[in-house]
């Protein structure tokens, strides 16, 4: 296999210069005197709907998808796409029901919501949980998997790649959310174009032909020869049932995963919280449309790699250090089969996905620490200038921590994508219960929220390690465990809501604000119809 050639490096550095130069231009153009915290962390009023939508996708799609999800495509096939297609449906729900509540009540951070709806103790505990999750799970995984891919493609030292990705992300992040938002538009352009080009070439390689005929032939051959890789719903007899347990992906725990991620997550909601409701909804709908495309970019290459592997190609390259097949190597190995120039474009697409996610995650870490911890408990008298400075330093510290701890997190043991889902799943049920009950039931109180967040985490952790009696919880799919923990949290919150005095801390809610505009409704119907067709076709 060939490493990157001169033309590949030229294409890659063109990407680097365009993103960095555009980011600096945006920073100078949008700079207005003393930078405020709302400007730095939220880019208040600065982002258009297309910038919000692109930023949502750029922040979401990263090494965990390109490497981890492609690896799942190699091993289990199209079924892993449920995370992407169900996310598209979830985004519509978030746009209709969640965003109006946040914007009506002037919510700028998720811990702020918890403080406003419950009390500062709930908010502080959750802020600490989020910081730990974002740094120890998300940031480390993105850096580790990104460096693994970049190193595998370029031949550069793994540690050097990790540091270089972190530095590039810091350059973008210190410019604030407005720079992240607008550079993400370019990142998504490279991500989509490079990703589609990789898929196109990979499927052509399967067919042994070129052009559209090769694409059609390759798809036909993959469906005929590897039909087991083109099903969305796994039966109990499937070896992948523990990861994606049948109808749970449509009716159960998958909703908790997505609603928590897209609706109760600072990292994501931050992109839309600085806009008006119509702009925010249009941006989220745009992101839902892009989500439908993602499996073509990140899952199909994995299936194509499996088809090529089945023909006897790159048998040795797919082996891990333990001598067993490592599916996470599928995408990097595939990129090394691409012709010079196109490999550079695909390399840029992968780097764009990693850097955009790192920047978005680092900005969210900075936002939560600065506005919800430092401002409230450490530097109560700090002015706007100092808070922005603290925010920038937090970005650097978080990146350094992620670089140091990532090799020790066991990210390579389960597969990158699965590692993130299971670790995040320990917190998701309780967090989502605290949010959804806080939104729509006025009697929900602080004791209930505290139980959901802390108690829900402890119950999920006990199940994960099989400490709870009554069943072998390690044999229960983690998505089903999430659904059960969520139900336990909701039941306890209902009981505490009736037993304890009403705290009278409901949010401002007007039924009319849940009515979306006509163009949004049309777009939402189109997205949901496409999802229904996809599931019907690949059931």
pLDDT tens digit string along 220-240? 999 989 999 999 999 999 988
Burial class from Cβ neighbours inside 10 Å (0-12, 13-18, 19+) for residue 310 reads exposed
Q: Which residues in the chain are classed under CATH 1.20.1730.10?
A: 47-376+385-420
**169, containing H or E segment:** helix 158-173
In angstroms and rounded to an integer, the radius of gyration of the C-alpha atoms of the chain is 23
> Tell me, what's the pLDDT at 525?
96
CA distance 88 to 232: 16
Torsion sign, CA atoms 70, 73, 75, 79: positive
Q: How far are the Cα atoms of 52, 100, 521, 531, 534 from residue 525, in angstroms, in the given order?
A: 21, 20, 6, 10, 14
198 — pLDDT class (breaks 50, 70, 90): confident
> Token pair for residue 445?
């109180």
Q: How far are the Cα atoms of 48, 204, 375, 427, 478 from residue 134, in angstroms, in the given order?
A: 26, 38, 20, 12, 20
Out of 33-42, 182-191, 207-216, the most confident range is: 207-216
CA distance 24 to 427: 37
CA distance 261 to 423: 13
Residue 441 contacts residue 474 (beta carbons within 8 Å): no
Burial class from Cβ neighbours inside 10 Å (0-12, 13-18, 19+) for residue 67 reads buried
The domain defined by 47-376+385-420 folds into Sodium/glucose cotransporter (1.20.1730)
User: Which pTM value belongs to this model?
Assistant: 0.85
> Tell me, what's the pLDDT at 415?
55
Residue 435 contacts residue 113 (beta carbons within 8 Å): yes
105 — pLDDT class (breaks 50, 70, 90): confident
Q: What percent of the chain has pLDDT over 90?
A: 26
Residue 72 contacts residue 302 (beta carbons within 8 Å): yes
pLDDT tens track for 432-451: 999 999 988 889 999 999 99
pLDDT tens track for 304-359: 988 888 887 777 777 766 677 788 788 878 877 777 877 787 778 778 778 878 88
456 — pLDDT class (breaks 50, 70, 90): very high
CA distance 225 to 182: 43
177 — pLDDT class (breaks 50, 70, 90): low
Out of 143-157, 185-199, 256-270, 427-441, the most confident range is: 427-441
Asked if residue 412 has pLDDT above 90, the reply is: no
How much is the average pLDDT of 68-74?
87
Of residues 192, 186, 177, 190, the one with CA closest to residue 290: 192
Asked if residue 46 has pLDDT above 80, the reply is: no
CA distance 198 to 492: 49
Asked if residue 247 has pLDDT above 80, the reply is: yes
Give long-range contacts, CB 8 A cutoff, 24+ apart: 35-39.
35/176, 35/384, 35/385, 35/388, 36/384, 36/388, 37/370, 37/371, 37/384, 37/387, 37/388, 37/391, 38/108, 38/274, 39/176, 39/178
């Amino acid at each position: 296999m060939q490493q990157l050639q001169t033309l590949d490096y030229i294409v890659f550095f063109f990407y680097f210069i365009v993103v960095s130069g555009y980011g600096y231009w945006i920073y100078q153009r949008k700079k207005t005197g003393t930078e405020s915290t709302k400007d730095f962390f939220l880019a208040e009023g600065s982002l258009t709907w297309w910038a919000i939508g692109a930023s949502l996708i750029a922040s979401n799609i990263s090494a965990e998808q390109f490497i981890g999800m492609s690896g799942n495509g190699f091993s289990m096939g199209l079924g892993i796409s449920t995370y992407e297609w169900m996310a598209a449906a979830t985004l519509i729900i978030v746009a209709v029901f969640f965003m109006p509540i946040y914007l009506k009540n002037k919510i700028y951070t998720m811990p702020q919501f918890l403080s406003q709806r419950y009390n500062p103790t709930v908010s502080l505990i959750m802020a600490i949980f989020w910081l730990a999750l974002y740094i120890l799970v998300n940031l480390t995984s993105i850096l580790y998997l990104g460096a693994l891919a970049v190193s595998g493609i370029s031949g550069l030292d793994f540690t050097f790649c990790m540091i270089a990705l972190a530095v590039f992300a810091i350059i973008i992040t210190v410019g604030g959310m407005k720079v992240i938002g607008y550079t993400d538009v370019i990142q998504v352009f490279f991500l989509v174009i490079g990703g589609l080009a990789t898929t196109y070439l990979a499927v052509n390689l399967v067919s042994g032909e070129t052009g559209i005929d090769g694409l059609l032939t390759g798809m036909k051959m993959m469906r005929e020869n590897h039909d087991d890789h083109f099903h969305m719903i796994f039966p109990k007899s499937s070896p992948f049932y523990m990861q994606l347990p049948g109808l749970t992906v449509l009716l159960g725990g998958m909703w908790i995963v997505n609603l928590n991620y897209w609706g109760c997550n600072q990292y994501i909601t931050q992109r839309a919280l600085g806009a008006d409701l119509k702009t925010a909804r249009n941006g989220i709908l745009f992101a839902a449309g892009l989500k439908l495309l993602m499996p073509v970019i990140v899952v199909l290459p994995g299936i194509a790699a499996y088809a090529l592997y089945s023909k006897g190609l790159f048998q040795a390259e797919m082996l891990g250090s333990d001598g067993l097949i490592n599916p996470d190597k599928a995408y990097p190995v595939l990129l090394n089969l691409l012709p010079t120039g196109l490999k550079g474009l695909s390399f840029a697409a992968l780097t764009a996905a990693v850097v955009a996610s790192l920047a978005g995650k680092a900005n969210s870490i900075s936002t939560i620490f600065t506005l919800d911890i430092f401002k409230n408990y450490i530097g109560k008298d700090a002015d706007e200038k100092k808070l922005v400075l603290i925010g920038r330093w937090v970005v650097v510290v978080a990146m350094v921590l992620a670089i140091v701890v990532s090799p020790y997190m066991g990210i390579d043991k389960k597969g990158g994508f699965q590692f993130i889902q299971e670790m995040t799943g320990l917190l998701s049920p309780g967090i989502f219960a605290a949010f959804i009950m806080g939104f729509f039931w006025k009697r929900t109180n602080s004791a209930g929220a505290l139980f959901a967040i802390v108690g829900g985490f402890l119950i999920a952790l006990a199940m994960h390690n099989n400490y709870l009696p009554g069943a072998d919880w390690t044999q229960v799919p983690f998505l089903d465990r999430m659904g059960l923990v969520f139900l336990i949290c909701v039941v306890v919150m209902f009981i505490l809501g009736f037993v304890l005095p009403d705290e009278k801390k409901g949010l401002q809610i007007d039924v009319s604000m849940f009515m979306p505009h006509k163009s949004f409704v049309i777009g939402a119907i189109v997205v949901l119809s496409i999802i229904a067709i996809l599931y019907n076709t690949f059931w």
